[in-house]
Amino acid sequence: MSSTLRPDGPRPDGAAAVEAYATSDAAAPTADVVPSSAAPATTTPPTTTPPLGQALVEAADGPFHVLRERLRREVLTADLLRDPTLDLAAAREWTTRQTRRFADSGCASIGYPHQYGGTGDASDLPVCFGMLGYADLSFDIKVGVQFGLFAGSILTLGGPWHRETYLRDALAMRLPGAFAMTELGHGSDVQHVETTIRYLPATEEYEIDSPTPTATKAYIGNAARDARMAVVFGRLLAGGTDHGVHAVLVPIRDEAGTPLPGVTIGDHGHKGGLLGVDNGTLRFDHVRVPRRLLLDRFGGVTAYGRYRSPIENRNARFFTMVGTLVRGRISVGGSAAAATRRSIALAARYALRRRQFPVPGGESDVLLLDYLTHQRRLLPRIAEAYAYGFAQNELLGQLRRWDGLESPDVGVERELETRAAALKAAQTRWAVDTVQAMREACGGAGFMTENVLTQIRQDVDVFVTFEGDNTVLQQLVAKELLVGYRAAWGDLDLLGMARVAARTLGEAVLERTAAQPLIARLVARAQVRDEEGLPLERGWQVVMFEDRERHILESLAHRAREAARARPEEAFAALNALAPHMLAAARAHTDRLVLEAFIAGIDATQDGRAALLLDRLCDLYVMSTLEADRGWFLEHHRITPTRSKEISARVDALCGELRPYVADLVEGFGIPEVLLDAPMVRD
Amino acid sequence: MSSTLRPDGPRPDGAAAVEAYATSDAAAPTADVVPSSAAPATTTPPTTTPPLGQALVEAADGPFHVLRERLRREVLTADLLRDPTLDLAAAREWTTRQTRRFADSGCASIGYPHQYGGTGDASDLPVCFGMLGYADLSFDIKVGVQFGLFAGSILTLGGPWHRETYLRDALAMRLPGAFAMTELGHGSDVQHVETTIRYLPATEEYEIDSPTPTATKAYIGNAARDARMAVVFGRLLAGGTDHGVHAVLVPIRDEAGTPLPGVTIGDHGHKGGLLGVDNGTLRFDHVRVPRRLLLDRFGGVTAYGRYRSPIENRNARFFTMVGTLVRGRISVGGSAAAATRRSIALAARYALRRRQFPVPGGESDVLLLDYLTHQRRLLPRIAEAYAYGFAQNELLGQLRRWDGLESPDVGVERELETRAAALKAAQTRWAVDTVQAMREACGGAGFMTENVLTQIRQDVDVFVTFEGDNTVLQQLVAKELLVGYRAAWGDLDLLGMARVAARTLGEAVLERTAAQPLIARLVARAQVRDEEGLPLERGWQVVMFEDRERHILESLAHRAREAARARPEEAFAALNALAPHMLAAARAHTDRLVLEAFIAGIDATQDGRAALLLDRLCDLYVMSTLEADRGWFLEHHRITPTRSKEISARVDALCGELRPYVADLVEGFGIPEVLLDAPMVRD
């Protein structure tokens, strides 16, 4: 079996553009996929063709290319390079200044309705926040707190009066605000916050109170320094009844910046990263605000104290209330991935300059990137960068469709929330691990602050635990999968399910992505092919990913049904034992979503050379993902030991084949040059 | 098969003390291993028994208990808690002050000969540096640079004149010094440094020069601020010949701190961690020093320019010259592991206080440590902490034996260097991954600087790339294993080797550790046992680890022999393709060393309860190590899919069984209480 690129070999159906290109004159007739500026080109591309890197940028930007290009031009400038040696006070000052500048530029209202100066497309907001991750994460998060969480709560949880009164000031940063949801004792457990919002009919006011130390609002961005007002989440008490979690606007500082009476503000001070974000604590001692400050779109109290809500189901109401979080999760996943791409680009450029140890018998030292061990550090990460990029685009598209719905659709919303949680957890985990790997790949130079990587590393760290702790989010994903599974299969037992043909089962069990018809064709083709070259057959790859997800989910459902029969005093132990299985289900599900998005992304790529390169990069993504979890595939007889070793050999071979295109591939991230400057990559 | 602890079940031979204890009255008759203050004890231990935590401290300290207790009392005080918000200048100032205080206390000469105020046992030095990792890593590294690398070079590379002239001042920090080996273009490749040390017979001087930009000495500790003198490594040129790498003392600053003529000092400034260490660059422009400043114990030049060395072989001389590094590597591995234990102890205490989400049907929220996912984050790390601790003790013992040798023994030295490299790479990798996992296990609290974890995380980061980049060190380990393999088997081809009985082969191929006779008994017993309870049978576990190492090494040797036949122009490609295989060989080798050390450590443990607990902890170490690499074991038919799933289930079960002993286990790390203070674990 050949280990070289096969531009004229069998291609999966979905890569029609690639096939067309591969048989055209412009295709390289040798092992090189495409002519590359960094690689010894065997043919010269037609002069009218755009540079390969630019074609990759367009492919990776997908439907958001125009907006992203605007952000590259107007926002991602050298002004956003924070001096990483600034102390806490200076870093906060810098970040506030940049946030104001961002508001002044008019970009803060991107994603808001036209009447507030926005683009009118709410999904633009997380596109924008994601792009800011290329610059400075403190700035990005501060922008997210002010224009996403704070202003976003006014837009989505408030009524017309709240919007008209506060939204313009919030978007102009004339009214800096905080989003006070998390409590010291209730990080991931929002449903059990202790803060109370009690209605007082005599004065038509709400009284906000922190009854216990654990009710303290904690890690609140903007709280320690800038915020004048906070969106405070607490339990709404009216007429002797607890109506569950609601949000209310509470002024917390006066014009001079002094905390208002009854409001105690703490400062978390120095943190492991994101020094520019002023996280603080908030405590309320029977603070009163007028009745109209309750963000009452989904539930409020009449002057006489009667509770009213357009959503009858209490649980559904809660999830609608905290729905603001979905945009936040989509945003931080995108930001973390952007910051990670920046770290990969820096490490790749370093590896293309740095030499170490002499070539045996040669004249110069070996370039770092020519070491297989180094290729194995970088190239799978590059493949993952594109994979997550396409998956994030698909998620943003889903958000856009959801925003465009005429009437609320609980099913669509839950699916969106599940995917947002899955991709937030996956991308932020990938981010922390990858930035660290890139730091290490640059040795001592990578540890010097001037070379940017340690700053990215410190700033991205908290992304795995904030905006939903990853472990909690993955369990949420698994629970949703189980719910969907139960809806599809009811009380069929395992044997009953096994009797159903595997494919039918799979299609009903697995939520389909946008690429459904394409994927179905690939899979159908894989079924009839013989073994040769199988691991590089896209249909086989999809089957492997689908099959793992389905099997894990089925066995989890079986165990969950057993656990549900446990006696009450054993219920916790029974559920607890399932937790690692649930995490595995979430991971397998996410991997499959990402692969399908990658395939759809390649299919949508117009440029033949870019598509061809992405197609091979997708092979690397699949091979390295299978390699990492080969224990599972072997345990469940999905691959033979021989196949398993072949997969590892494929990773090696693909690294070597893609190595000449590394410069193009990182150019394809579309990171403005000014943000990729560092002494270690300077001439 | 029972998943509970089996204090009265079959025990491996080596755990004689455990067996004795398990059948004594003090043993808990139920599933609990030992009574624990944190666990519901089923029996009360005799009042004369020391606390379990203390017994674990003694077991883990092993032969170094007395010295470590002295360091806990005299050195590891609250003075060593650096304020993590100090800026660069203040952090350096603090670190220098602490280093002077350490010198003033007389502890700096620990490990030096008696005439210099020391203990006379050179292996005490790395024991000491390792313990300082519990406090502050900037302080630890600064101490290591000054009293380990700088003073250590004078001791080991210099003659009597150098020692008498400089050593006391160096140990008192009256002469702050730098160790200038690494060059900008030659981080891991010391053999190819470009700095020249040219002998000028006319004036009987050496002229030190940095001929190119890449010859700049880089990342040199103490250089940016404090050092008055440097040990400079360069190529010794005399009589028209390049005699290879030697070291010379070069004054670099005057008493006032001004750089001397011809010496250009740069400052690396802000770094990703270790802010207290003043790393800088050094360049020399034809700087002259008197002839006697060459550290000439292993090679020097007569007044007339004739080169003389007691070591004829040039290669052997080089490795002797850079032999100082072995102590450095042993030290940083120990320091990183100590810092990691501190992070585990903090996260464990947090998990024993923090509650999140209500118990279904219960009254209070669930303690974090009661979640299986959380146990899986912490408990295997605790097991690894003990495993690496015992392995480090064994390495320190090996260093002590080497120091005690009457005459140099190249074989013993190479083995020591190989193990130092293996354990440095393994412990520092473990450190970076584990501290991060502990930070995440503490959620938002873990990200607040006041809770210490992010500081440890930042400081320990560079340990994976300094004092020998881990990837390079692992390749060095694999090369040494191949050399040993070749020495044992010569040109026998694979078939020839396969004909030799597997056990004989194994014993000759695998370097034995101190635990040899014990291990041999365990293995012999495993061979005749049947399948039931096999994974918890120590002999079976050893066979699994040994077998993996042997197989990887044999197949590597086979491939290396093939590669050696490549044509010159293909030599690099042929060797390059082996690199991932080499890394796997190094990892498998290290895992086996660590397991054998763990077994020997349990065998040497006097306290029955501690031994019993460590025995079960060793099971967890093995099960989680096997689980992590189950892909390999399945690929190579060493375990069946069923067995593989059983191993994962064993990890879950062992986590549950050991969970009641977590408080004792982290107490057993022997970290002074003042160093475990943080707001998140305070009452």
Q: For the residues of A483-511, what is the DSSP string, one character each?
A: HHHHHHHTT--HHHHHHS-HHHHHHHHSP
Mean pLDDT, residues B319-332: 86
Q: Which of A22-31, A230-239, A252-261, B640-649 has the lowest mean pLDDT?
A: A22-31
Q: What is the pLDDT of residue A483?
A: 86
Cα separations in angstroms, A215 against A212, A235, A654, B201? 5, 11, 53, 79
Q: How far apart are CA B415 and CA A200, in angstroms?
A: 78
Q: Which two tokens stand for residue B600?
A: 């020997």
- pLDDT band for position B490 (cuts 50, 70, 90): low
Q: What is the pLDDT of residue A130?
A: 95
Closest to B142 in 3D by CA, of B82, B214, B58: B82
Give the DSSP H or E segment for A337.
helix A324-351
- Determine the distance in angstroms separating the CA of B328 from the nearest CA of chain A, rounded to an integer: 17
Please state the φ and ψ torsions of residue B423, each to the nearest 5 degrees. Answer: -75, -30
pLDDT greater than 50 at residue B501: no
Q: A373 to chain B: which residues are within 8 Å by CB?
A: 471, 579-580, 583
Q: What is the pLDDT of residue A30?
A: 39
- Determine the distance in angstroms separating the CA of B409 from the nearest CA of chain A, rounded to an integer: 28
For B160-205, write each residue's pLDDT tens digit.
999 999 999 999 999 999 999 999 987 778 888 999 999 999 999 9
Q: What is the pLDDT of residue B198?
A: 98
- Among the partner-chain residues A356, A569, A571, the one whose CB lies closest to the CB of B189 is A356
Q: Which two tokens stand for residue A119?
A: 């683009």
Phi-psi region of B204 (alpha: psi -120 to 50; beta: other; left: phi over 0): left
- Determine the distance in angstroms separating the CA of A401 from the nearest CA of chain B, rounded to an integer: 33
Closest to A376 in 3D by CA, of A8, A116, A57, A651: A651
Q: A84 to chain B: which residues are within 8 Å by CB?
A: 270
Q: Which of A255-259, A362-366, B294-298 has the lowest mean pLDDT?
A: A362-366
Q: How many CB pairs under 8 A join A and B?
A: 213
| CB contact at 8 A, A450 and A681 | no
- Determine the distance in angstroms separating the CA of A632 from the nearest CA of chain B, rounded to an integer: 8
A278 CB burial (10 A radius; 0-12, 13-18, 19+): buried
Give the DSSP H or E segment for A196.
strand A196-200
Residue of chain A nearest B372, judged by CA positions: A576
pLDDT greater than 50 at residue A18: no
ipTM of model: 0.90
Under an 8 A CB cutoff, do B637 and A634 touch?
A: no
Contacts of B503 (CB under 8 A, 6+ apart): none
Cα distance from N-terminal residue to C-terminal residue, chain B: 42
The number of residues in chain A equals: 683
Q: A268 to chain B: which residues are within 8 Å by CB?
A: 448
For A589-634, write each residue's pLDDT tens digit.
999 999 999 999 999 999 999 999 999 999 999 999 999 999 999 9
For B638-679, write each residue's pLDDT tens digit.
999 999 999 999 999 999 999 999 999 999 999 999 999 999
pLDDT greater than 50 at residue A240: yes
| Buried/exposed A647-664: b ≥16 CB within 10 Å, e otherwise | bbbbbbbbbbbbbbbbbb
Q: B568 to chain A: which residues are within 8 Å by CB?
A: 360-361
Q: What is the pLDDT of residue A4?
A: 40
Under an 8 A CB cutoff, do A271 and B577 touch?
A: no
Contacts of B440 (CB under 8 A, 6+ apart): A464, A465, A470, B377, B446
Residue B304: Cβ within 10 Å count: 10
Considering chain A, what percentage of its residues have pLDDT values greater than 90? 74
pLDDT greater than 60 at residue A42: no
| CB contact at 8 A, A509 and A488 | yes
Helix A410-441 / helix A579-603 crossing angle, nearest 10 deg: 90
pLDDT greater than 70 at residue B498: no
Closest to B413 in 3D by CA, of B469, B333, B480: B480
DSSP codes of every residue in B561-614: HHHHTS-HHHHHHHHHTTHHHHHHHHHHHHHHHHHHHHHHHHHH---HHHHHHH
Q: B644 to chain A: which residues are within 8 Å by CB?
A: 631, 634-635
Mean pLDDT, residues B33-58: 66
Q: What is the pLDDT of residue A13?
A: 38
For B262-274, write each residue's pLDDT tens digit.
999 999 999 999 9
| CB contact at 8 A, A511 and A394 | no
Under an 8 A CB cutoff, do A87 and B88 touch?
A: no
- Among the partner-chain residues A188, A362, A576, the one whose CB lies closest to the CB of B356 is A188
Please state the φ and ψ torsions of residue A358, each to the nearest 5 degrees. Answer: -70, 150
3-state SS assignment for residue B222: coil
3-state SS assignment for residue B414: helix
Cα separations in angstroms, A543 against A554, A592, A621? 16, 10, 15
pLDDT greater than 50 at residue B3: no
pLDDT greater than 60 at residue A301: yes
For A523-549, write each residue's pLDDT tens digit.
777 765 556 678 889 999 999 999 999
Q: B371 to chain A: which residues are within 8 Å by CB?
A: 576, 579
Mean pLDDT, residues A29-54: 57
- Which residue stretches of A114-194 are H helix? 124-132, 137-143, 151-157, 160-162, 168-171
